[in-house]
Amino acid sequence: MAIGERRASAADATPANPNDAPLAGVRVLDLTRLLPGPMCTLYLADLGADVVKIEDTGAGDYARSLRGHAGAASSGMTSWYRAINRNKRSLALDLKAEAGRDALLALARAADVVVEGFRPGVVAALGIDHAALRASNPRLVCCSLSGYGQTGPRARAAGHDVNYLGYAGVLDATGTRGGAPALASLQIADLLGGAAAAAIGILGALFGAARTGVGRYVDVAMADAVLAHQPFALGTLDDDDRVPVRGDDLLTGGVPCYGVYETRDGRFMAVGALETKFWTSLCATLARDDLVSGQFARGEAGERVRAELAAIFRTRTRDEWTATFADADCCVTPVLSFDEALADPQFVARGMVRRDASGHRSFAPPFALTPSPALRAGDAPRQGEHSREVLREAGYDDATIDALVARGVVKADE
């Protein structure tokens, strides 16, 4: 099976057709840039939506060149920009110009969704807020994606992933006992709090608009969304009247049965034996049935069990332990590096890595549908690559488009 192809099931009896995709025929105007918004609209594009990036006529989406490297210099795009903007079209439009705003309003009349990621107040100042956009299209779904939301004392403040995690209590709880808060390599607030939460809200509003003919305004705050994804922390506070302590909670190393253990070669094994059956199987595999009673031990007893496990895991390499636990049903697995993860047989079998026509890698959608729509493999757009095409679809003739290009209201990459 080629990389990028999902394994077929019995329900996939007919060839995939792009027109059968769940969001086929849905037009999305995407005014976002960098990561959270484009990742949200990537989900929609992968579900079949026609996503049009509305970029300014200056730098555009500067993810194209942010942290550029040789590959970006030769193609004009970073690899990570390509990965999250595949199968989209680009219209470069000056929204500060009256003609640019008029063009966006014309596009909105035939669109289904508009997503923007400006700071609160910016779209109102430009005259393109949700009320203006929906004036001639009551079915339109408008989504604002921001760090702290459209209301509240911090609404207009700038922020990045680390700031949202800090305010939401996630950063304080992440890391080892006695150490400083740990930074994750995955943008938790941007992706879980921003992209995923926005996509869910948009899809719900789209479903409602299809039933009622009335769209909705979706206000997504990344800080809100990451706060709302901590049911364990909230449960601990409600049930035990305490805040989980970094490195000493159930999921951060507080008990022997859940954590990471270093191996002889300096690598690590991940132990997730939370259920009694898994912990019992782990102890049997290690021939240490005497440790069974220490599964959730804390304090000095917990330290003793952890020390015993740590000493055992340091006797073999990671790959040796992986082989040892291969047939044991106990949730003990290797900690892979990213390049190792890409080559992992499970992800390969699921077709999670794909290549576009230019040979660049990206991820397949994190959801497999049956019957599955055709997975398009189009490249990410150049700034303004589809300006003329999109404006023609909105009813603009070539002479009008030429005039807008000449005035700098529209940028067309031809």
- Nearest Cα residue to 337 out of 172, 223, 185, 216: 185
Per DSSP bridges, beta strands 258-262 and 217-221 are: unpaired
pLDDT digits (tens, 9 = 90+) for 331-363: 999 999 999 999 999 999 999 998 877 778 889
Q: Clarify whether 190 is annotated catalytic.
A: yes
Q: Clarify whether 360 is annotated catalytic.
A: no
| pLDDT of 11 above 70 | no
| Amino acid present at 349 | A
Catalytic residue among 20, 56, 160, 402: 160
pLDDT digits (tens, 9 = 90+) for 167-208: 999 999 999 888 999 999 999 999 998 999 999 999 999 999
Lowest-confidence segment of 47-51, 207-211, 245-249 by average pLDDT: 245-249
CA 355 to chain centre: 19
- pLDDT at residue 356 in the model: 73
Q: 373 in the Ramachandran plot: left (φ > 0), alpha (ψ -120 to 50) or beta? A: beta
| pLDDT of 278 above 80 | yes
Mean pLDDT of 67-77: 56
Lowest-confidence segment of 9-23, 116-130, 232-246, 249-263 by average pLDDT: 9-23
Record the tokens describing residue 403, joined without a space: 């005039």
Record the tokens describing residue 70, joined without a space: 């040789």
| pLDDT of 17 above 70 | no
| Residue 400 pLDDT grade (very low, low, confident, very high; cuts 50, 70, 90) | very high
- pLDDT at residue 71 in the model: 47
pLDDT digits (tens, 9 = 90+) for 213-227: 999 999 999 999 999
pLDDT digits (tens, 9 = 90+) for 374-397: 666 678 999 999 999 999 999 999
- pLDDT at residue 8 in the model: 34
Burial string for 307-337 (b: 16+ CB within 10 Å, else e) reads ebbeeebeebebeebbeebeeeebbbebebe
- pTM for this entry: 0.91
- pLDDT at residue 372 in the model: 75
| pLDDT of 261 above 70 | yes
| Residue 9 pLDDT grade (very low, low, confident, very high; cuts 50, 70, 90) | very low
| pLDDT of 7 above 60 | no
Catalytic residue among 190, 249, 356, 379: 190
